[in-house]
Amino acid sequence: MGGMIAKTSELVVDPNNLKIMAFKLYGPEVGKEAGEYLRTENVREFSGLGMVVDSSDDFVNSDEVIKLKEILDLNFSLIGMKVESKKGTKLGKVGGYFVNTETWQVQQIVVKRPLMKAFMDPELLIGKSEIVKITDDKIIVKDEESKIRQKATTEDFVPNFVNPFREQRLSTADNQILDEPDN
């Protein structure tokens, strides 16, 4: 027989590899001590309804697992961290992230843009492969060269549609369709 034994209040993320280590817990089955955690290794099943664990015996205190204690002592929180490019351009702050629930790895971060930049681009999705470095107070990502290149290619865009109401002839010099002026 199953039922709810605890709720999660926050995630414990390892800043070295952006992997979720554990979930901080609260609820009726949780001890009254400094706090109990559910390690991701003990999650048997995960869905939109919640997580399935074998029992509350899987809960650990922060002092019981050395690696978990080390990460907790860093007091690292991904939400709210500043995000900058390698050149120092301020991109915004982390407002959320997407996680692969099979590996518990953060795959993308959602960057909320500053007020003036938010008019054009309210959010940026940055993949884990774009992250260069994580410091105590900010995340540094690759520069936006690919976006600049992408904008340049869209400016040089020549539509490839044909106006059906005009006579057309094929230019043999560069294989382009030329519109004949209406008589």
Tell me, yes or no, whether 70 and 120 share the same domain. Answer: no
Inter-CA distances, 45 with 54, 78, 82, 90, Å: 10, 24, 33, 39
Tell me, yes or no, whether 107 and 141 share the same domain. Answer: yes
Tell me, yes or no, whether 68 and 44 share the same domain. Answer: yes
Tell me, yes or no, whether 24 and 56 share the same domain. Answer: yes
Report pLDDT for 133. Answer: 92
pLDDT > 70 in the chain, percent: 71
How many distinct structural domains can be found in the chain?
2
Any domain includes 95: yes
Inter-CA distances, 100 with 67, 103, 135, 139, Å: 21, 6, 23, 20
Band of pLDDT at residue 9, cut at 50, 70 and 90: confident
How far apart (Å, rounded) are the C-alpha atoms in residues 140 and 148?
Answer: 18
Band of pLDDT at residue 1, cut at 50, 70 and 90: low
Task: Read off the CATH number of the domain in which 96 is found.
Answer: 2.30.30.240
Report pLDDT for 40. Answer: 92
Tell me, yes or no, whether 111 and 66 share the same domain. Answer: no
pTM above 0.85, yes or no: no
Q: What domain range is 11 assigned to?
A: 7-74
Phi, psi of 118 (to 5 degrees): -70, -20
Which of 32, 54, 74 is the last residue in one of the domains?
A: 74
Residue 180 has pLDDT above 90, yes or no: no
Tell me, yes or no, whether 11 and 70 share the same domain. Answer: yes
Which of 49, 74, 99 is the last residue in one of the domains?
A: 74
Check residue 128 and report its DSSP letter. Answer: G
Tell me, yes or no, whether 105 and 55 share the same domain. Answer: no
Band of pLDDT at residue 116, cut at 50, 70 and 90: low
Mean pLDDT value across residues 6-34: 84
What does the DSSP assignment read for 147-171?
HHHHHHHHHT-------TTS-EEEE
Mean pLDDT value across residues 5-10: 86
How far apart (Å, rounded) are the C-alpha atoms in residues 28 and 7?
Answer: 9
Residue 74 has pLDDT above 50, yes or no: yes
Closest by CA to 139, choosing from 73, 91, 96, is 91
How far apart (Å, rounded) are the C-alpha atoms in residues 60 and 37?
Answer: 5
pLDDT, the chain, mean: 78
What does the DSSP assignment read for 4-62?
---EEEEEEEETTTTEEEEEEEESTTS-SSS-EEEEGGG--EEETTEEE-S-GGGEEET
Tell me, yes or no, whether 70 and 16 share the same domain. Answer: yes
